[in-house]
Amino acid sequence: MKFATRYTAGDITLLAYVDKAHGNLSGPATQRITEREHGEYGRAAYERLAKISWARIYRFRNSAAYRKSNATYQPTWPTVIAIGARRKPQPQSMPGFLRIDTVHQGDSSGGKGIYQINAVDEVTQWEIVGAVPQISESWLIPLLETMLVQFPFRIRGFHSDNGSEFINYTVQRLLNKLVIEQTKSRAHRSGDNGLVEAKNAAVIRKDIGFGHIGTQHSEAVDQFHRQYLNRYLNFHRPCAVPLLLIEPNGKRRRVYRRWAKPFELLQEVPRCVDFLRSGLTLAELARFEAQQSDTDAALDMQRAKHQFMHRIAKLSA
């Protein structure tokens, strides 16, 4: 059985004429135009197009007959970037699954600002911060390599948002070489990378601030991170430990009843020694921690920060 043809070749040509005139608007907008051409302006040629559906407009636009009359229309196809799995990591209480993000120290009339890279382990909250003048390949890849080896355990996962500084083939090759799984945040799931974003505010913005730091100071800032800030964060600064509660109605809620240092949380991981990097022991980490009290480490960190901030302010004046 053959259905009657509702629209003619002339209707397709007329639709192409309308699209070309209006710059290829959306289906609903185009349907409203053809409806007004017939109903408001009394043009009989638009009688059938006045009742056309949005779906039919899009089908006609993909037809060969339409393209002959309007070669300027090109449908928008989604771009699929096959880098990283779009899902939330599942560390299953094992260290080595990082959340990573970028913090920009602003631009000013004097030039661009540095970028700070913040990486946090989901289970132990072990945190490593670095700094680069730009997030181009030549700067970012060497910094990532340096940051990854600062973690005392083997890295298994690398999770970021969908920014191009991490979702690119250069970073993918680096992670593949190190046998690290790459994942990226899902659409409409703002909490997927929430841990590191919270640390951006609680650590980087609190200790470094929001002020502009020029790119010429990136090495000084990165050296401060390596020598003082990272040591303080992981061995001497307690952080809130979440406890997940499930309400009778099934709603999940996190409460914070305990504060502990990342090194403490690492030691509490079952069989934690199995996750340490080759040649590294808990005793060695404990000796490193015992070299300073928590307050002494904090004072050293603050003194070093004030010194390089003073130098930056003096050079920028």
- The answer to whether 133 and 114 have CB atoms below 8 angstroms apart is yes
Name every residue whose Cβ is closer than 8 Å to that of residue 52 and which is 6 or more positions away in sequence.
7, 15, 31, 34
% of residues, the chain, pLDDT over 90: 57
Cα distances from 255 to residues 90, 110, 140, 242, in angstroms, run 20, 44, 36, 6
Residue 88 has pLDDT above 90, yes or no: no
Q: Confidence class of residue 79 from pLDDT cuts 50, 70 and 90?
A: low
Report, as an integer, the average pLDDT of 216-241.
94
pTM: 0.76
- The answer to whether 131 and 217 have CB atoms below 8 angstroms apart is no
308: enclosing H helix or E strand: helix 294-316
Identify the three-state secondary structure at position 181: strand
Segment 139-198, tens digit of pLDDT: 999 999 999 999 999 999 999 998 888 988 999 999 999 999 999 988 878 788 888 999
Domains within the chain, CATH numbers bracketed = 9-69 (no CATH), 95-316 (3.30.420.10)
**Class of residue 272 by CB neighbours under 10 A (exposed 0-12, middle 13-18, buried 19+):** middle
Residue 4 has pLDDT above 60, yes or no: no
CB neighbours of residue 299 within 10 Å: 13
Segment 12-55, tens digit of pLDDT: 999 999 988 888 888 899 999 999 999 988 999 999 999 999 89
Q: Confidence class of residue 76 from pLDDT cuts 50, 70 and 90?
A: low
311: enclosing H helix or E strand: helix 294-316
Report, as an integer, the average pLDDT of 125-147.
94
- The answer to whether 75 and 179 have CB atoms below 8 angstroms apart is no
Q: Confidence class of residue 229 from pLDDT cuts 50, 70 and 90?
A: very high
CA distance 260 to 235: 10
Report, as an integer, the average pLDDT of 124-150.
94
**pLDDT for the residue 248:** 87
Residue 310 has pLDDT above 50, yes or no: yes
**Class of residue 293 by CB neighbours under 10 A (exposed 0-12, middle 13-18, buried 19+):** exposed
Single out the residue of 244, 185, 236, 224 nearest to residue 311, CA to CA. 224
Segment 254-308, tens digit of pLDDT: 888 889 999 999 999 999 999 999 999 999 999 999 999 999 999 999 999 999 8
Single out the residue of 78, 256, 100 nearest to residue 163, CA to CA. 100
Residue 112 has pLDDT above 90, yes or no: no
Name every residue whose Cβ is closer than 8 Å to that of residue 154 and which is 6 or more positions away in sequence.
96, 275, 276, 277
Report, as an integer, the average pLDDT of 201-209.
91
- The answer to whether 134 and 115 have CB atoms below 8 angstroms apart is yes
Q: Confidence class of residue 1 from pLDDT cuts 50, 70 and 90?
A: very low
Name the one residue in this structure whose structure tokens are 């017939």. Answer: 38
Residue 82 has pLDDT above 90, yes or no: no
**pLDDT for the residue 181:** 92
Which H, E and C letters describe 205-265, residue by residue?
Answer: HHHCCCCCCEHHHHHHHHHHHHHHHHHHHHHCCCEEEEEEEECCCCCEEEEEEEEECHHHH
Report, as an integer, the average pLDDT of 60-87.
79
**pLDDT for the residue 108:** 80
CA distance 255 to 43: 67
Query: Of 316 and 130, which is predicted with more confidence?
Result: 130
**pLDDT for the residue 317:** 66
Q: Confidence class of residue 81 from pLDDT cuts 50, 70 and 90?
A: low
Residue 3 has pLDDT above 70, yes or no: no
314: enclosing H helix or E strand: helix 294-316
- The answer to whether 168 and 106 have CB atoms below 8 angstroms apart is no
